[in-house]
């Protein structure tokens, strides 16, 4: 249950008059009375129930963005839960609906829509995952440019620059997505001038976003269901989704490289690992976006997302387990994940003396390890800056837990054989 104090703190932000970073989201700022009430949505849902209309996904998502999951009228929430509980929804809708009624007891998966993501994006398809990453990044850049258009205060300028830079680095963050070259060029042009006009960038990014496969575009649109009306939470959700895409790509690359190695294909395994490293080496651009999170806004978001933590991320855990289950780590906060019997480290160590390409693979493993550990260190640093040493929303000690995790290598036994 969200406390009165927290609700008041959120209200204060929304009433502050600031739009964008450190203030209210653009959807809440621009909403009409009807959009705020959600009355039309109940009617649209009744029509769907009667078989007279399509399910009003987009309208439901837009309403949630306007009022936050915690501000939706209980009657509407009950209707959506009812559809789910009575199996009125087909499987794709069924994977999305829990996002709409989990405000009191939700977890990380339903916070950012990971079940829906798995159904729609199909997590083992590198091209689709990269399309999702690229679409989420462009959507965020367009949102920040829109907020900048409403209010060009300094933190918003910094945020807009940071997300635009992410879009210009999509060739590294999402190399299996072919981004229309004019998007990165327009992003770089905007970044080159202080006091930039992001209009030309937005006018090429919007059609590029619309050109991703339809189900992926709608997965991006429908999975932005913040718990509050704070603009910064929308940035936070998008960053998590982009990271989830990266973790997923790394997990897939590792499990496939294990298979390649078993088939004697060390060069193919190396290529896969290198592509995963390239993605992770571009992560500092994402961290630059996250560090624009105002401390006071995040303390409210934390309160609304208690119990939801990326410590529950399946893809992140798969990466760590598929490499070398670290005996030294405390896994009490996560379930066991089945990633097959052998770790990449085991398979590599078994072949290193006999395979002529072993050293090439070892370099790729070390590169991946460096990039993964650097990412964990960056995350620890941001955590210290944003929440200090208070416990995490997932029940760990917080920064000290992350510091310890950041010192854990993916392939600890490689140093023994060096
Ligand atoms: C302001 C930004 C952030 C803060 C302050 C923060 C804080 C934390 C804290 C305190 C934990 C420890 C677990 C817990 O008790 O909750 C954690 C874990 C984690 N966070 Fe974040 N986080 C932030 C952003 C992100 C983002 C955007 C992602 C992307 C998915 C992310 C991914 C993770 C992962 C994967 C873990 C588990 C790490 C492990 O078990 O080694 N975090 N975070």
Residue nearest atom 33 in ligand 1 by C-alpha distance: 310
Is 211 a residue whose pLDDT tops 50? yes
Does ligand 1 have an atom closer than 6 angstroms to the CB of 396? yes
Max distance between CA atoms of the chain, in angstroms, equals 71
Distance in angstroms (rounded) separating the CA atoms of residues 56 and 89:
12
Distance in angstroms (rounded) separating the CA atoms of residues 91 and 18:
40
Give the Å distance between the CA of 309 and the centre of ligand 1: 7
Does ligand 1 have an atom closer than 6 angstroms to the CB of 311? yes
Mean per-residue pLDDT, 141-156: 97
Is 63 a residue whose pLDDT tops 90? yes
Does ligand 1 have an atom closer than 6 angstroms to the CB of 393? yes
Residue nearest atom 23 in ligand 1 by C-alpha distance: 383
Distance in angstroms (rounded) separating the CA atoms of residues 328 and 220:
37
Substitution site in 107, 173, 309 for ligand 1 pocket (most atoms within 8 Å of beta carbon): 309
**Whole-number pLDDT of residue 335:** 46
Q: How many CB atoms are located within 10 Å of the residue 300 CB? A: 21
Does ligand 1 have an atom closer than 6 angstroms to the CB of 282? no
| Residues 263 and 353: beta-carbon distance below 8 Å | no
CA 252 to chain centre: 17
**Whole-number pLDDT of residue 325:** 59
**Whole-number pLDDT of residue 324:** 66
Distance in angstroms (rounded) separating the CA atoms of residues 115 and 97:
10
Kindly state the DSSP code that residue 186 receives in the 8-state scheme.
H
**Whole-number pLDDT of residue 337:** 47
Least confident of 14-18, 186-190, 322-326: 322-326
Mean per-residue pLDDT, 166-175: 98
Mean per-residue pLDDT, 388-397: 91
Give the Å distance between the CA of 39 and the centre of ligand 1: 36
Kindly state the DSSP code that residue 193 receives in the 8-state scheme.
S
Does ligand 1 have an atom closer than 6 angstroms to the CB of 301? no
Give the Å distance between the CA of 402 and the centre of ligand 1: 8
| Residues 167 and 191: beta-carbon distance below 8 Å | no
Mean per-residue pLDDT, 292-318: 95
**Whole-number pLDDT of residue 418:** 62
pLDDT confidence band for 303 (50 / 70 / 90): very high
**Whole-number pLDDT of residue 2:** 86
Give the Å distance between the CA of 90 and the centre of ligand 1: 33
Mean pLDDT of the chain: 92
**Whole-number pLDDT of residue 124:** 83
Neighbour-count burial for 124-162, b at 16+ CB within 10 Å, e otherwise: eebebbbbbbbbbbbbbbbbbbbbbbbbebebbbebbbb
Give the Å distance between the CA of 359 and the centre of ligand 1: 34
CA 56 to chain centre: 24
Give the Å distance between the CA of 395 and the centre of ligand 1: 11
Is 334 a residue whose pLDDT tops 50? no
pLDDT confidence band for 333 (50 / 70 / 90): very low
Higher pLDDT: 143 or 350? It is: 143
Sorted by sequence, the CB contacts under 8 Å of residue 358 that are 6+ apart come out as 266, 348, 351, 352
Sorted by sequence, the CB contacts under 8 Å of residue 43 that are 6+ apart come out as none
The pLDDT > 90 percentage for the chain reads 78
Substitution site in 383, 388, 401, 405 for ligand 1 pocket (most atoms within 8 Å of beta carbon): 383
Mean per-residue pLDDT, 54-75: 95
Is 61 a residue whose pLDDT tops 90? yes
Q: By C-alpha distance, which of 64, 416, 177, 137 is closest to 288?
A: 137
The label of the residue with tokens 């999951």 reads 69
Mean per-residue pLDDT, 166-193: 97
pLDDT confidence band for 328 (50 / 70 / 90): very low
Is 321 a residue whose pLDDT tops 50? yes
């Amino acid at each position: 249950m969200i406390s009165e104090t927290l609700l008041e703190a959120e209200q204060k932000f929304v009433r502050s008059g600031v739009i964008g970073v450190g203030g209210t989201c653009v959807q809440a700022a621009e909403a009409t009375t009807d959009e705020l009430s959600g009355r039309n949505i109940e009617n649209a849902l009744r029509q769907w129930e009667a078989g007279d209309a399509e399910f009003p996904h987009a309208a439901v998502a837009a309403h949630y963005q306007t009022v936050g999951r915690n501000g939706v009228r209980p009657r509407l929430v009950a209707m959506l839960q009812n559809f789910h509980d009575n199996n009125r929804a087909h499987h794709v809708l069924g994977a999305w609906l829990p996002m709409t009624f989990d405000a009191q007891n939700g977890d990380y998966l339903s916070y950012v829509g990971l079940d829906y993501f798995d159904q729609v994006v199909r997590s083992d398809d590198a091209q689709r995952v990269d399309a999702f990453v690229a679409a989420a990044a462009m959507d965020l850049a367009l949102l920040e440019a829109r907020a900048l258009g409403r209010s060009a205060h300094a933190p918003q300028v910094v945020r807009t620059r940071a997300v635009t830079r992410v879009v210009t680095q999509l060739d590294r963050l999402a190399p299996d997505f072919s981004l229309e070259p004019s998007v990165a060029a327009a992003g770089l042009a905007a970044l080159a001038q202080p006091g930039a006009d992001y209009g030309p960038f937005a006018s090429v990014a919007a059609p590029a976003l619309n050109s991703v496969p339809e189900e992926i575009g709608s997965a991006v649109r429908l999975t932005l269901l913040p718990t509050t009306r704070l603009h910064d939470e929308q940035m936070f959700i998008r960053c998590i989704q982009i990271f989830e895409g990266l973790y997923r790509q790394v997990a897939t690359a590792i499990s496939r490289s294990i298979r390649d190695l078993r088939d004697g294909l060390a060069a193919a395994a190396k290529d896969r690992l290198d592509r995963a490293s390239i993605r992770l080496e571009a992560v500092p651009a994402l961290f630059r976006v996250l560090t624009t999170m105002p401390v006071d806004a995040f303390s409210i978001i934390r309160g609304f997302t208690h119990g939801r933590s990326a410590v529950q991320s399946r893809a992140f855990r798969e990466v760590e387990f598929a490499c070398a289950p670290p005996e030294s780590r405390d896994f009490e906060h996560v379930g066991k994940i089945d990633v097959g019997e052998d770790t990449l480290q085991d398979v590599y160590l078994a072949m290193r003396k006999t395979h002529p390409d072993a050293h090439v693979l070892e370099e790729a493993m070390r590169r991946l390890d460096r990039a993964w550990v650097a990412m964990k260190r960056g995350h620890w640093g941001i955590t210290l800056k944003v929440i200090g040493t208070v416990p995490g929303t997932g029940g760990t000690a917080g920064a000290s837990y992350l510091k310890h995790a950041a010192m854990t290598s993916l392939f600890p036994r490689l140093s023994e054989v060096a």
